[in-house]
Every structure is written in C-alpha cells, then in structure tokens.
Amino acid sequence: MKNILVLCTGNSCRSQMAHGYLEALQSEPAARIYSAGVETHGLNPDAVRFMAEDGIDISGHTSNHVDEYEGIAWDYIITVCDHARENCPFIPAPGAKRLHQNFSDPSKVTGSEAEKREAFIAARDQIKAYCRDFIERELR
C-alpha cells in the first residue's frame, strides 16, 4: 500500500478536496491518503459543502500540520499550491515522487455568493480531474 501526502498552505480547502477525491476515486484501495498544511487553518465549511454536492464527504477530516506525519515513508508528495511548495519544510522521503499542481484558492475569492460558488466549483472540478489522472497514471 502506497502513502500519499497532499500538501497545501493551510490544509483547509484544496488539499482536503484532493484528499477526498484520491480516497474516493480509487477503484480498489492502493494508497493511504494524508493531507496536511505548512500551517493549519481548520476545515473550510465551503469545501465540505461543495464536495458533498459531488457526493464526497470530507466533513470528518481534520486540518493537520505536515510535522504531524513525521516518520511516514512517503511514496508521493503532491503540493497543490505554490505557497506550500515554496514554504514546505524539508520532508525526508527518499524515493518519494514529488509532484506539483497549483490550484487557485477558492477561499480567497470575494464577491457575491454566486462568484464564490463558481470559484469553489471550478477549483473542485480541476482537482477532481487531476486526481483522476493521477490515479490512472500512478496507481493502476
């Protein structure tokens, strides 16, 4: 079983969505999924809501700091925002494949509820597509 770490700035939104999709989209469990941040901001309620609209329940997830997972042998470390990639502490993971894909942060969007919703749905759908491709490419 492979170990995958999804890393973001605050482990509240993008990494949580990727965590949810990477778990849910595996046809057979091939990997344990963890998500963390270089900071912790708590689980974003809009991320929970918009993931639930797509049938993925992340309401039981917690916002974790990357240091909490010290000692896990990582097979993959995926950063999902530029800030996490640039500010991540050193993670000793010899042999881990490190991947990066920057997704815009929907929690930073201001404006009407419709504009905020549109930002979350766009980020969610991009993350879902990335996770599908990752599973097909790396876990099959």
Residue 87: predicted pLDDT: 74
Q: What is the pTM of this model?
A: 0.95
Residue 125: predicted pLDDT: 98
For the chain, strand residue ranges (E) read 2-8, 31-37, 76-79, 97-100
State the catalytic residues. 8, 81, 88
Number of domains the chain is built from: 1
* H/E element, 124: helix 113-134
Over 80: is that where the pLDDT of 88 sits?
no
What's the CATH code of the domain at 120?
3.40.50.2300
Containing structural domain, residue 32: 2-139
Q: CA angle 47-14-72, nearest 5°?
A: 120
For residues 65 and 36, the answer to whether their CB atoms sit within 8 Å is: yes
Read off the pLDDT band of 31 (50, 70, 90).
Answer: very high
